[in-house]
Amino acid sequence: MLRITRLFAHAIGQNKKVLSIDEALYLAKDAGFATKAEIQKLIVASPPFSPDKSPFLISNFFNEKRGCQTFDEDIEEAKDQSTQIDRIISSQQLPEISQIDHILAEKTNPGSTNFFWNQGERWKVRADGFGTCMRSTTHLIIQRGRGIVKVNGEEDLYKRWPIFYNRMDVLEPLYLAGCCGVYDVFIETRGGGITGQSRSARLALARALVSANPSVKYALEAALYEDTRQKMPKMPGRTGARSLRKWRKR
């Protein structure tokens, strides 16, 4: 900062004109300023998870996203949180009864062992879901495990979707449902591009979680929205779906 002050003082002392673009950019870089394109490049190239308290952690990412809501939405969210707290308290009051029911169900009905208990709620051990977005279709299977995510066989998540926000789209339902690290996710996706595939996988994962536990449907309301928009086909006599050629009289 002292160096910048000296440069400005030197420029004023010699009665120079306004700084050129190169000089202004040099001073801005020296002061630590960055352009919007540089910041976006850092965000896109950032890792999916970080060990320190950076804004790229999945929890911090969604907390920042929720912090942009309006005042009215904050009031509604506070009401929803109060009702959710009451539901959690009521569910935690009967842990022994639920365990007894689970043991009795195991003895009387062997098929009921396909369920397990997590945070006072009953979840299916295995569930699946389908999702579509634009030209992409996804079939997804969740199975109780330790948080492994595989795409089209043995492909890793970060290799299939190298862009940070696409990975966030896929993992958002797990965060909203509060079951990160509880399920292994196996994704089979076809067609479209990486963005369409990530959104279709997001919808399929949300539907699979609702199938595993219907009580999380309200928490996954945003992720359950299906985008049915499709690209219009090219029309005869037009340059595109709607665009026309430039009109000429002759």
* Inside any domain, residue 89: yes
Q: What is the pLDDT of residue 57?
A: 44
Look at residue 97 in the predicted model and tell me its pLDDT: 47
The string of DSSP codes covering the chain is -HHHHHHHHHHHHTT--SPPHHHHHHHHHHHT---HHHHHHHHHTS-S--SSS-TTSHHHHHHHHHTTS-HHHHHHHHHHHHHHHHHHHHHHT-HHHHHHHHHHHHHH-GGGGGEEEETTEEEESEEEEEEEETTEEEEEEEEESS--EEETTTEEHHHH--SHHHHHHHHHHHHHHT-TTTEEEEEEEESS-HHHHHHHHHHHHHHHHHHH-GGGTTTTTTTT------PPPPPTTSSSSS--PPP---
User: What is the pLDDT, as a whole number, of residue 55?
Assistant: 43
Whether residue 42 is contained in a domain is answered as no
Whether 23 and 80 map to the same domain: the answer is no
Whether 84 and 8 map to the same domain: the answer is no
Range of the domain at 28: 2-33
Task: Tell me, yes or no, whether 238 lies in a domain.
Answer: no
Q: Is the pTM of this model over 0.85?
A: no
| pLDDT score recorded for residue 203 | 95
Q: For 220-241, write each residue's pLDDT tens digit.
A: 998 999 888 888 889 998 999 9
Specify whether 83 is located in the same domain as 126: no
Looking at the structure, do residues 126 and 169 belong to the same domain, yes or no? yes
138 and 198 both lie in a single domain: yes
Residues 208, 132, single domain; the answer is yes
pLDDT of residue 40: 63
Query: Are residues 212 and 159 located together in one domain of the fold?
Result: yes
Query: Within a domain: residue 14?
Result: yes
pLDDT tens-digit profile, the chain (250 residues): 555 556 555 555 555 566 676 777 767 767 766 666 766 666 666 555 444 444 444 444 455 445 544 545 655 666 666 666 555 444 444 444 455 655 655 555 555 568 888 888 888 999 999 999 988 999 999 999 888 899 998 888 888 998 888 998 999 999 888 888 889 999 999 998 999 999 999 999 999 999 999 999 999 998 999 888 888 889 998 999 999 988 888 7
Q: Do 152 and 94 belong together in one domain? A: no
Considering the domain architecture, whether residues 166 and 144 belong to the same structural domain is answered as yes
pLDDT for res 58? 46
Instruction: Report how many domains make up the chain.
Output: 3
Residue 248 lies inside a defined structural domain of this protein:
no
Q: What is the CATH number for 191?
A: 3.30.230.10
Is 179 in the same domain as 127?
Answer: yes
Q: What's residue 210's pLDDT? A: 93
Residue 84 lies in a domain: yes
